[in-house]
Amino acid sequence: MDNQKVNTEMKNYQKIPQILSFLDEEGTDKMQEQIQTNYKQVKLDIVKLIKNELEHIENDSNLAHFQTSYK
């Protein structure tokens, strides 16, 4: 490995700008809280999507035969 070449490349590195901060006004890190909130919302969205699709299948005579009795 060419250390001089690596050092030269490292000097040209640009800092990646921060696009999102999880710190609140008091400086408290809220990342885990935000992750949990997003996770719960995704779960709720998926349940809603499944319920809507099952209802759609149940109400469509062309699809009703696909429905199983998991209720």
Q: Give the tens place of pLDDT for each residue, 16-62.
A: 998 999 999 999 999 999 999 999 999 999 999 999 999 999 899 88
Q: Is residue 23 part of a domain?
A: no
Please say if the pLDDT value at position 68 is more than 80.
no
So what's the pLDDT on residue 24?
A: 93
So what's the pLDDT on residue 70?
A: 55
Q: Is residue 19 part of a domain?
A: no
> What is the domain count for the chain?
1
So what's the pLDDT on residue 69?
A: 63
Tokens of 48: 């809603």
Given its phi and psi angles, is residue 17 left (phi above 0), alpha (psi -120 to 50 degrees) or beta? beta
Q: Is residue 52 part of a domain?
A: yes
Q: What burial letters (b/e) apply to 27-48, b meaning 16+ CB within 10 Å?
A: eeeeeeeeeeeeeeeeeeeeee
Range of the domain at 54: 30-61
Q: Is residue 43 part of a domain?
A: yes
Q: Is residue 49 part of a domain?
A: yes
Q: Return the DSSP state at 33.
A: H
Q: Is residue 13 part of a domain?
A: no
Q: What is the pTM of this model?
A: 0.59
Q: Is residue 66 part of a domain?
A: no
Q: Is residue 39 part of a domain?
A: yes
